[in-house]
Amino acid sequence: MKVTVIGSGYVGLVTGTCLAETGYHVCCLDVDPRKIEILQQGGIPIFEPGLEDMVRRNVAAGRLSFTTDVAASVAFGDIQFIAVGTPPDEDGSADLQYVLAAARNIARHMTGYRVVVDKSTVPVGTADKVRAAMAEELAARGADIEYSVVSNPEFLKEGAAIDDFMRPDRVVIGVDDERAAEIMRRLYKPFQRNHERVLLMDVRSAELTKYAANAMLATRISFMNELANLAETMGADIEQVRLGMGSDPRIGYHFLYPGVGYGGSCFPKDVKALVQTGKEHGHTLRVLSAVEEANDIQKLRLVDKVVSRFGSDLSGRRFALWGLAFKPNTDDMREAPSRVIVDELSCRGAEVVAFDPVATHEASRVMGGNARLRFADDMMKALEGADALLIVTEWKMFRAPDFDAIKRSLKRPLIFDGRNMYDPAWLREQGFDYLAIGR
Ligand code: NAD
């Protein structure tokens, strides 16, 4: 079986590379010639642990290739994965222009049966739109060629993407015909460890499953953030509460961490898109609207604390900020809370010196226009002469820093911790003023 992956971003590149790793021959296509050039030269255009080695290994073995040539990529794979972006439209719904453009390209060039697999996160009903777009292109060519459209949403997490893909909790496949079902079952055989992980279902259910899962995770975060804010006011410690809640197996410990709000390329846009889908079909998704609103407020929680301490005019103040990426182990800056925090601090006149172990390059691309923001190439250097330290992303390297050195570098021993990384009692004993979330 040969596979083409359309879109060589976080999802497409991981999908293509992991499929090649198990022995398939894979061709990855992208419209961005810069990305393809980097890949062809043996580099990777994103940060994802373990991915660069895996790409190199599979390219060297002749199983993985990269191209910008649409016709060649359509000719290559019996299976055509669509893994392009689905950013939010103005009204919050998913913008399907890239998905449909990819589908049309397939129909324009295909000469034999193809399984077209939607890996992008797309609203219910998208497979019908993909089918219709392909039918239109084929009709324009006067061609009568069979194809199947399958939904196979991706659940990988940036930062742990390879492990998630190679050892998935489940593989959701929405398929309406037996021919494609058999091909997809076979494709994913190498990823079944000791038991069946493929969940076959109808296409619409598969499309909705992805949104449902992300919306649930976002809900847990907003729920914990609101509780954290309450705990803080009531003199309770949300970290104790979290442990007490999580020990109930119906709740579980995962995804119960309060912080500065969720970000990234998925939760914000998927929650918005699901709310919008509801609206379009006469269902008000009240819980999810509240999840979004709570998240917007939470992104400013740390700044609110800074303002309570220093006043609303922050001119002449300088803050060190640790962590720019929306979460650790990625350079992804899409919807990162750090962007809102830096904007708000600088609007109030403060300067920010930020450090992130991998996202600085990406951050300077998306935030470089901000004259009040500088980037430090060392976490301790960011602190020099700052009025306080703000922690925004919980990178491992921030877990046990040299607190004496921090104290020496800052103007005053003050830490605003948006990720609850330290023990408040111990830090206070060391002479720090320590403000965290919900405790
Ligand atoms: P991305 O922006 O990193 O990558 C998309 C790529 O598609 C880009 O490189 C772009 O140049 C390319 N592209 C756009 N149109 C194209 C076309 N017509 N032909 C070929 N290439 C084209 O996006 P991503 O983060 O990989 O996300 C892709 C999809 O997967 C989205 O729907 C997203 O919601 C979903 N998803 C993302 C994650 C994640 O963690 N990033 C996880 C699960 C699902």
Q: What are the pLDDT digits (tens) for 26-47?
A: 999 999 999 999 999 999 999 9
Q: Residue 272: CB partners within 8 Å, gap ≥ 6?
A: 88, 92, 93, 292
- pLDDT class of 196 with cuts at 50, 70, 90: confident
Q: How far is the CA of 30 from the centre of ligand 1 (A)?
A: 10
Enumerate residues lining ligand 1, CB below 6 A.
Answer: 6-12, 29-32, 35, 83-86, 98, 101-102, 120-121, 154, 156, 158, 265-266
Contact 228, 437 (CB under 8 A): yes
Reply yes or no on whether 266 is catalytic: yes
- pLDDT class of 195 with cuts at 50, 70, 90: confident
Q: How far is the CA of 13 from the centre of ligand 1 (A)?
A: 9
Mutate to test the pocket of ligand 1, among 84, 117, 170, 269 (most ligand atoms within 8 A of CB): 84
Q: What is the SS3 string spanning the chain?
A: CEEEEECCCHHHHHHHHHHHHCCCEEEEECCCHHHHHHHHCCCCCCCCCCHHHHHHHHHHCCCEEEECCHHHHHHHCCEEEECCCCCECCCCCECCHHHHHHHHHHHHHCCCCEEEEECCCCCCCHHHHHHHHHHHHHHHHCCCCCEEEEECCCCCCCCCHHHHHHCCCCEEEECCCHHHHHHHHHHCHHHCCCCCCEEEECHHHHHHHHHHHHHHHHHHHHHHHHHHHHHHHHCCCHHHHHHHHHCCCCCCCCCCCCCCCCCCCCHHHHHHHHHHHHHHCCCCCHHHHHHHHHHHHHCCHHHHHHHHHHCCCCCCCEEEEECCCCCCCCCCCCCCHHHHHHHHHHHCCCEEEEECCCCHHHHHHHHCCCCCEEECCCCCHHHCCCCEEEECCCCHHHCCCCHHHHHHHCCCCEEEECCCCCCHHHHHHCCCEEECCCC
Please report the ipTM that was assigned to this predicted complex: 0.99
Q: What is the mean pLDDT of the chain?
A: 97
- Per-residue pLDDT tens for 112-167? 999 999 999 999 999 999 999 999 999 999 999 999 999 999 999 999 999 999 99
- The CATH code of domain 211-296 reads 1.10.1040.10
Q: Which fold has domain 299-435?
A: Rossmann fold (3.40.50)
Sign, CA torsion 151/155/158/160: negative
CATH 1.10.1040.10 in the chain, residues? 211-296
Q: How far is the CA of 23 from the centre of ligand 1 (A)?
A: 23
- The CATH code of domain 2-200 reads 3.40.50.720
Contact 4, 65 (CB under 8 A): no
- pLDDT class of 194 with cuts at 50, 70, 90: confident
Q: How far is the CA of 201 from the centre of ligand 1 (A)?
A: 24
Mutate to test the pocket of ligand 1, among 4, 5, 8, 10 (most ligand atoms within 8 A of CB): 10
Mutate to test the pocket of ligand 1, among 4, 13, 29, 30 (most ligand atoms within 8 A of CB): 30
Residue minimizing CA distance to atom 14 of ligand 1: 84
Residue minimizing CA distance to atom 4 of ligand 1: 9
- pLDDT class of 346 with cuts at 50, 70, 90: very high
Residue minimizing CA distance to atom 18 of ligand 1: 102
Question: Catalytic: which of 18, 27, 28, 266?
Answer: 266
Q: How far is the CA of 2 from the centre of ligand 1 (A)?
A: 21
**Which atom of ligand 1 sits closest to the CA of residue 265?**
41
State pTM to two decimals: 0.95
Model confidence at 337: pLDDT above 90: yes
CATH 3.40.50.720 in the chain, residues? 2-200, 299-435
